[in-house]
Chain A
Amino acid sequence: MSKRRGGGESLPVPVLALAVVAIAFFALPLIGLLWRAPWSNAWTYLTDDDALTALRLSMVCSLWATGLSVVFGVPLAWLLARGTFPGREAVRALCTLSMVLPPVVGGVALFFALGRRGIVGQYLDQWFGITLPFTTAGVVVAQTFVAMPFLVITVEAALRQLDTRFEDAARTLGASRWYIFRRVTLPSIRPALGAGAVLAWARALGEFGATITFAGNFPGTTQTMPLAVYLSLETNPEEAIVLSLLLIVISFGVLVGLRGRWMGRAEANMATVVP
């Protein structure tokens, strides 16, 4: 029995047992789905027009939501990490509020802000003819609302841990602050940015309550996969299972595939240090 070879740490047994329970906790629902899936009918469900439309809509909207989360979330994270202004804690709590809010409540709140009679929404409607409820844009808004905090929190933590002396070095070399942000700061937090984006994307993909409340449910426009699954569960549970598995397979693929790209670099660096 060689305890010396093999590299990694060995966990104490109680800790290991808890970890195994946790793995089982996550694996069992997936196994349950696979067990009850109607494999003989699966193909018809998968190629159903409505299902494919819902899938396409889900992917498009969640990617848009992730993009918006990055564009607006990274500057916000930077402000929260580096800015010194009164009420910073309150601002941080505000921006991550939707993480703890029940999604349906978030949807209702979005109504009151951006709906046809909303504080801002009414002007969008009157002046620009822009309405968000019942549109695909509304889906993106609802998804961004719930997903962005995940990215903000991840990136803010990474920015706080950054060694600012590298930015000092860049300044002495003549770089402007914007150049430093693009060429030094952002590359340094790339793993965290990637992880945050993936988290946000996953959250957006699975969003249900805020979407159906704010954007509504219409095939092709606002009926994303979670909505389609929920409604089909009422009348055709087998179809629901197949659609759920499809969503799981896609999410799984993305998570596993991206992990190598975004998080792998950090592991590779560590591998060269250990002799």
Chain B
Amino acid sequence: MPRHHRYLAPLAAVGLVLTSCGSDDLAIPTSGSDVAGDVTVFAAASLTAAFTEIGAVFEAEYPEAAVVLNFAGSSDLVAQILQSAPADVFASADTSNMDRLVSASGHATEPSMFATNVAEIIVQPGNPLGITGVVDLANDDLIVVQCAPEVPCGRYAAEIYANAGVAVIPKSYEENVNAVVTKVRLGEADAGIVYATDVIGAGDAAQGVAIPADANVIAEYPIAAVADAANLVGAQAFVDFVLAAESQSILAAHGFRTP
């Protein structure tokens, strides 16, 4: 099982050799025995379920390696990496956070799009308040929560309101999308803007109300190996793994769409 929230990454001799090459083009490992040690993956909160599964499969494929996962809002993760948190891989829920990382003096290289997601309104099972669309969220009597504007999900929500031409004042801006799901599940909030994958992930505990395509946003998920990663070989292997067919079918099973 991949371990979560561990920040210790061992120094890999192979990584040192490769960084001394100093080019943006990374060598692709030719055999599984090159991939070893901890691979620390910082991934957006919405990827929690999918990446946990992908991490386990990766470890089965590369028995010498161990995947260490850290989930949080994408902006939070970028802040951590810029403060020198030891990440090998960064998977973001939007391109702007990835761009922020890349532009900060050569931190990341070669971002690749590996999935997309759409937003959905999450409500309690049975939709007791009969919410049919984004317009309903403008009702002041409803307790609507969403992500904080710094977090990708929060920005998407603002875009969706603009697209639909409504002004929605939520009751709270949460740190990440998981917190939004939790509050609706607990019954404290009536509705929230989350990803379609989160509605699927909540199972019977919640229900989704679709947002029509003309109002909705497409969330693009890029992934990249962090340039000064401690385990560059492992990082690249993980990125390739996520782009490969097996992971893509796992992502699809969780509700993600093709990039």
Contacts and interface: CB of A to CB of B under 8 A. Distances in A.
Contacts of B76: 234
Contact of A222 (B75, B172, B179, B183): B172
B145 A231 contact: no
Residue of B76, B82, B145, B173 ringed by the most chain A CB atoms within 10 A: B173
A111 interface: yes
Interface in B171-200: 171-175, 179, 183, 186-188
A222 B150 CA distance: 17
Interface stretch (A86-94, A184-192, A210-218, A243-251): A210-218
Interface string B71-86: 0010110110011000
A234 B173 contact: no
B148 A231 contact: yes
Contacts of A133: 188
Contact of A218 (B75, B150, B171): B171
Contact of B173 (A116, A213, A217, A232): A217
B170 interface: yes
Contacts of A234: 73, 75-76, 78-79, 150-151
A117 B186 contact: yes
B143 interface: yes
Contacts of A218: 170-173
B172 A117 contact: no
Interface string A224-249: 00000011111101000000000000
A103 interface: no
A213 B145 CA distance: 12
Contacts of A237: 79, 82-83
Interface in B84-115: none
Residue of A117, A218, A232, A235 ringed by the most chain B CB atoms within 10 A: A235
Contact of A217 (B73, B75, B82, B172): B172
Interface size band for A: 20 to 34
Contacts of B150: 231-232, 234-235
Contacts of A212: 174-175
A28 B133 CA distance: 52
Interface string A190-219: 000000000000000000000011011110
B186 A216 contact: no
A216 B147 CA distance: 11
Interface of A: 111, 115-117, 133-134, 212-213, 215-218, 222-223, 230-235, 237
23 contacts: A111-B186, A111-B188, A115-B186, A115-B187, A115-B188, A116-B188, A117-B186, A133-B188, A134-B143, A215-B172, A216-B145, A217-B148, A217-B172, A217-B173, A217-B175, A218-B170, A218-B172, A234-B73, A234-B75, A234-B78, A234-B79, A234-B151, A237-B79
9 closest A-B pairs by beta carbon, nearest first, are A216-B172, A134-B171, A234-B75, A117-B187, A235-B150, A217-B173, A234-B79, A234-B150, A234-B76
Given A111-B188, A117-B187, 9 more contacts: A111-B186, A116-B187, A134-B172, A216-B173, A216-B183, A230-B175, A233-B79, A234-B78, A237-B79
Interface of B: 73, 75-76, 78-79, 82-83, 143, 145, 148, 150-151, 170-175, 179, 183, 186-188
